[in-house]
A and B are shown apart, each in its own frame.
Chain A
Amino acid sequence: MTAVLPSRPQRPTGGRLVDQFEYGLDAPICLTWELTYACNLACVHCLSSSGRRDPRELSTAEAEAVIDELQRMQVFYVNVGGGEPTVRPDFWHLLDYAIGHDVGVKFSTNGVKLDKTRAAQLAATDYVDVQISLDGATAEVNDRVRGTGSFATATRALENLAEAGMKDFKVSVVVTRENAGQLDEFKALTDRYGAQLRITRLRPSGRGADVWDELHPTQAQQRELYSWLLANGEQVLTGDSFFHLSAFGEALPGLNLCGAGRVVCLIDPVGDVYACPFAIHENFLAGNVRDEGGFQRVWQQSELFADLRSPQTGGACTKCAHFDACRGGCMAAKFFTGLPLDGPDPECVQGYGETALAARDAATVKPKSHLDHSHTGPVRGQPTLLGIPAIPSKICDESPLAGLDLR
């Protein structure tokens, strides 16, 4: 037999699951599907720079076809987000369609559409999970980031869900410098509604890149967060997103690896498939579900994903004593801060990230996404973090979506 050198490392037989995952799976475990770029809010750290609907967004029929394909591939559930997914008029239809095709749905919302009727409907539906986004345990902290009135909207939705007897709904928090001290308060708030707390990491993706410097937790906060997770980890979900903190010592429970293109991916509102929801950039674009062969072909055959499906063998991190626990951290966080992908995470708990950030030369251009669906004009209840004065909401202005093009 003529020996053909494999161009890519071969998957080993047996061994740890995490090592197997580095070589990818036949279908994703954790697929995020953003249904629309439209959103009633304008959160300062939006990972997808959402605001305005994109005219090329998938039609209802196209979205159904994606669900059919996910069913065939045995993707048992999807994380649906946006934008604000519930402002799509066919959202509730697609929810039922997915559940009817063995694709469970976990969706994230700011709560704008979760009135009592919808809450009751959700409580009566199996295989649906709801996550309400909240980035402060108090209106003051939350609304600076998510916009005036957004705390009230979210807590009203939580009340409605609790009242409807919904089980296992979640409060989803992105940990920032401003709310890192509120973890116990978040826990108390969540318990009050009989919900579960989920906290995840802030990444410099989308508009998050503009505020990352001032909002990402300090080193001291990261250490406190780590201790808090060790103490409370059992009752709190994290999406395994803090695995870089494992380099403090004891590994955090969960999957400690970057799953981008390996076990995770994103289908964006126009059907583009990216390696990760935090990596909306041409460099991580693997294809489109509208292409021949659909999503399955993109997932299983794209060059980009094949490249991502191998263990990291070089770079500074592989020499670090904590590499096995931390794996060099988050690819997206490195990429959007202009750091090399095989070097330390910008929030490396050993401090190498800060050194690397400081060492970027003045000529370093931080990569920017080619997409921006941010609102172009002022938005009702605009966040105040950036020092922009809030647009006062008019009392008679009933619809929070007033003035938005949500066709």
Chain B
Amino acid sequence: MTAPAGPDVTAVFDPALPWQKARSVALRPEPFGALVYHFGNRKLSFLKSRTLVAVVEALADHPSAEATLVACGVPETQRPAYVKALADLARSQMIEERTSVPPTTRTLAAGPCTEAV
């Protein structure tokens, strides 16, 4: 069973902070998105769209989760759904808060997300 759904999802996930795919997590591309596997807690999860896969992969290159959504071209109307999906991933430890912010140059260099097919 997955972790019980806590009411304080937002307390775990702040989209204004920098995030990254957790280091012990692997993504396996699938036709509909990707399979996510956490080698530490051995949990399996799924990303249900290719854009979400691109977002998760790109998190580490942007100063915040919000910025990643913008860079990946997620339409504004869909952003709340993506934030919720990311919050779920944060709760199951598939993504983690990034403590080291990439250097400014790198942040600036990070262009639009290229992975969305």
Contact = CB atoms under 8 A, between A and B. Distances in A.
Contact of A23 (B31, B46, B48): B31
Interface of B: 1, 26, 28-32, 35, 37, 39, 42, 44, 46, 48-49
Nearest to B42: A104
Interface residues of A, number: 19
26 contacts: A14-B32, A14-B49, A17-B46, A17-B48, A20-B32, A20-B48, A23-B31, A25-B31, A25-B35, A26-B28, A26-B29, A26-B30, A26-B31, A27-B28, A29-B35, A29-B44, A74-B28, A76-B28, A76-B37, A77-B42, A104-B39, A104-B42, A127-B39, A127-B42, A129-B42, A253-B1
A17 B47 CA distance: 9
A234 B28 CA distance: 28
B75 to A, nearest CB: 15
A295 to B, nearest CB: 15
A17 B33 CA distance: 10
A77 B49 CA distance: 23
B1 A234 contact: yes
Contacts, number: 42
Nearest to A168: B42
A77 B26 CA distance: 13
Interface of A: 11, 13-14, 17, 20, 23, 25-27, 29, 74, 76-77, 102, 104, 127, 129, 234, 253
Contacts of B32: 11, 13-14, 17, 20
A25 B42 contact: no
A102 B42 CA distance: 12
A76 B26 contact: yes
Contacts of B28: 26-27, 74, 76
A405 B37 CA distance: 39
Nearest to A11: B31
Residue among A13, A17, A76, A129 with most chain B CB within 10 A: A76
Q: By CB atoms of chain A within 10 A, which of B42, B44, B48 has the most?
A: B42
